Structure 1
Amino acid sequence: MKLRILFAEDDDCFAFVLKDHLELNGYEVVHVSNGENALKLFKREKFDLCLLDVMMPAIDGFTVAKEIRMLNKAIPVLFISAKSMKEDRLQGFKTGGDDFITKPFSVEELLMRIAVFLRRSGLSDVEPFYKFGLFTFDYKNLKLTSPKEIYTLTQKEGDILRFFCTHQNQLIKREEMLKEIWGDDDYFMGRSMDVFIAKLRKYLKEDTTICIRNVHGVGFQFVV
């Protein structure tokens, strides 16, 4: 049975694209374009997670979250907003939100955050698919797929690629990745990681818009 997401967003074009991505990753998504309809629907139907835009007509996302929290204390509530001020984030948490993601954001990042909250709720242990450039990466089955090839990765290659996917275009420190994936940071583990990254570079060379860049003395950047 698919997990259900209540998605409230007044930008229909943005909502169409995001809804499509979420459904491709196995979720059932019910979209409404304002806060008033979101509340009416929440009271009538069962959902596993709420994804709320902050600025909406009729009733804003913060008010919707307050009402939802009065009805259900446990359901994960994630805000999406073009506003990135600290005060907005704090207000989001005060009104009962669990997370706050600022536009523009990568779909992969949102999928990871959704998966985290659903796992915490005991609802899902499903890993999302990651899409970047020409590739689709199925972490659960360790399959990296392009229009020309399907690569079966080793567990460590998969762990590294998932780490890169969730930190796209960010500066990643070597020790941070080593501790996350190997649990420690030493010379031999570092050499082992370099071998796996070299293999990933070979798989990814099919798409010239993607690269794993070495940042001298610091670590890496997964450029997408």
Structure 2
Amino acid sequence: MALQEKNTILLIEKSNNLRTVLRDYFELLKYQVKDCADIATAIRALKKDFYDITILDVGDDMEEGIKMMQAIFKLDPDMPIIIMSDNSDKLVKIQAFKEGCEDFLTKPFSIEELSLRVNVVLKRLHKLQAPHATKTREDIVLEFGLFTFNFSTAQLSCFNYSHTLTRKECDLLYLLVKNVNTIIPRETILREVWGEGRQDAGRSMDVYITKLRKYLNYQFFADKAKTGQLTKRKLAQMPKVQLVNIHGTGFMLKVED
């Protein structure tokens, strides 16, 4: 059985005590948690790694909280954010949802409630992984290079390790794999994966292309499966898989035997 990757949480909480309590609690629930005391630390973490969900404590300063959300969305436009706030004002909640938060909790609340809300958000997002999918696609398992892509479970596997893709990653990879070694125009990708009318879709697409490039690297899976460093000689013996940017045109998933 392939190893499964833990869901990752980016936790932004300025209170040392509460941050420690939340981190320890979610780690007991088998989440992988990156805890940050401020937005600057969180942004550095986002530039280095990808996270499934963000928990953001805005205290009673929603204006500053909105700035933090915008900074997060700039790096990952589709990041689900759960807001924790000291302010129970209805207008503050409405403002937070208008800015794109996924959920909003007013203090005090139980940690169990927060964990349940995190679980609900992640379940909902995984169920929506393939919004353009049809029944004929649900059972499709695609193989390319040394990778196996199970569309129905959104699992990308290699070296006996499985990585769970998000809904957007799943749709984007499906489009690329079904058109392997073929240039796909940016406009086609935007239309097929993001739909019409998304003004920020171009930036979002670039973020997800970067994510897929990371995953379509044999060393990523070798590290996760703990099989060791892949030497140049080993890599030369493996089918070459590249996500290529065709400047001014689009992208191509290039697979060579």
Tell me the TM-score normalised to structure 2 length: 0.44
Q: Give the match for residue 43 of structure 1.
A: 47
Within a 5 Å distance, the mapping from 1:57-96 to structure 2 comes to 60-96=64-100
What is the CA–CA distance in structure 2 between the aligned matches of 1:80 and 1:69, rounded to whole Å?
17
What is the CA–CA distance in structure 1 between the aligned matches of 2:93 and 2:33, rounded to whole Å?
24
Q: Aligned AA for 1:64?
A: M
Alignment partner of 1:9 is 2:16: no
Q: 1:16/1:56 Cα in 2 relative to 1: closer, same or farther (>3 Å)?
A: farther
Q: Give the match for residue 223 of structure 2.
A: none
Q: Aligned AA for 2:8?
A: R
Q: Aligned AA for 1:13?
A: N
Q: Give the match for residue 29 of structure 2.
A: 25
Q: Aligned AA for 2:95?
A: Q
Within a 5 Å distance, the mapping from 1:197-208 to structure 2 comes to none
Contact 2:8–2:52 (CA<8 Å) still a contact in 1? yes
1:9 Cα offset (Å): 0.5
Q: Aligned AA for 2:41?
A: N
Equivalent residues, number: 123
Contact 1:77–1:98 (CA<8 Å) still a contact in 2? yes
Contact 1:4–1:47 (CA<8 Å) still a contact in 2? yes
1:93 Cα offset (Å): 1.1
Tell me the TM-score normalised to structure 1 length: 0.51
SS at 1:26 equivalent: coil
Identify the match of residue 105 of structure 2 among 101, 106, 125: 101
> Any stretches of 5+ residues in structure 2 without a counterpart?
128-257
Q: Which has the higher contact order (CA 8 A, sep 6+)?
A: 2
> Any stretches of 5+ residues in structure 1 without a counterpart?
124-224
Identify the match of residue 123 of structure 2 among 78, 95, 119: 119
Deviations 1:128-162, CA, capped at 9 Å, x for gaps: xxxxxxxxxxxxxxxxxxxxxxxxxxxxxxxxxxx
What is the CA–CA distance in structure 1 between the aligned matches of 2:81 and 2:45, rounded to whole Å?
15
What is the CA–CA distance in structure 1 between the aligned matches of 2:107 and 2:68, rounded to whole Å?
19
SS at 2:126 equivalent: coil
Query: RMSD over aligned Cα, in angstroms?
Result: 2.3
Contact 2:60–2:87 (CA<8 Å) still a contact in 1? no
SS at 1:47 equivalent: coil
Q: Aligned AA for 1:62?
A: I
SS at 2:59 equivalent: coil
* Identical aligned residues as a percent: 34
Contact 2:60–2:85 (CA<8 Å) still a contact in 1? no
Contact 1:35–1:60 (CA<8 Å) still a contact in 2? no
